Structure 1
Amino acid sequence: MKKFLKWTGAVIVALITIGLIFGDNKPNTAEAKIKEEQAHASNTPNPQPVAAPALAVTAKTLGKAYEDNEAAADQQYKDKVLEVSGSIKSITKGPFDEVVVELKSGNDFLGVQAKLNKTDEAKAGQLKKGQAIKLHCTGAGEVTSIPMLDECTIL
Structure 2
Amino acid sequence: MKKLLKWIAFGFLGLLVLGFVIESTKSPEQKAADQANAQQREADEAQARALQAKQEADSLPTVTATEMVKAYEANTIAADQQFKGKKFKVTGTIGDINTDIMGNPYLVLRASGNPFNQPQFSFDKGASAQLANVTKGSKITLICTGKGDVAKTPMSGSCSII
Give the structure-2-normalised TM-score: 0.61
**Alignment-mate amino acid for residue 102 of structure 2:** F
- Cα shift at 1:51: 6.4
Alignment of 1:59-138 (within 5 A): 59-106=65-112, 107-138=114-145
Q: Distance in 1 between matches of 2:97 and 2:56?
A: 30
Partner of 1:144: 151
Partner of 1:27: none
Q: Distance in 2 between matches of 1:82 and 1:119?
A: 21
- Cα shift at 1:118: 3.3
Secondary structure at 1:66 match in 2: helix
Q: Distance in 1 between matches of 2:101 and 2:126?
A: 18
Q: Distance in 2 between matches of 1:59 and 1:100?
A: 14
CA RMSD of aligned residues (A): 1.7
Secondary structure at 2:93 match in 1: strand
Structure 2 unaligned regions, length at least 5: 1-54
Q: Distance in 2 between matches of 1:66 and 1:115?
A: 18
Number of matched residues?
106
Partner of 1:58: 64
Deviation sequence 1:14-63 (CA, Å, 0-9, x none): xxxxxxxxxxxxxxxxxxxxxxxxxxxxxxxxxxxx96932111111001
**Alignment-mate amino acid for residue 113 of structure 1:** Q
Q: Distance in 2 between matches of 1:131 and 1:89?
A: 8
Contact residue 120 and residue 154 of structure 1 kept, 8 A: no
Runs of 4 or more above 4 Å deviation? none
- Cα shift at 1:145: 1.7
- Cα shift at 1:80: 0.8
Q: Distance in 1 between matches of 2:89 and 2:124?
A: 15
**Alignment-mate amino acid for residue 94 of structure 1:** D
- Cα shift at 1:117: 2.5
Secondary structure at 2:122 match in 1: strand
- Cα shift at 1:119: 3.3
Secondary structure at 1:137 match in 2: strand
- Cα shift at 1:128: 1.0
Structure 1 unaligned regions, length at least 5: 1-49
Q: Distance in 1 between matches of 2:124 and 2:82?
A: 22
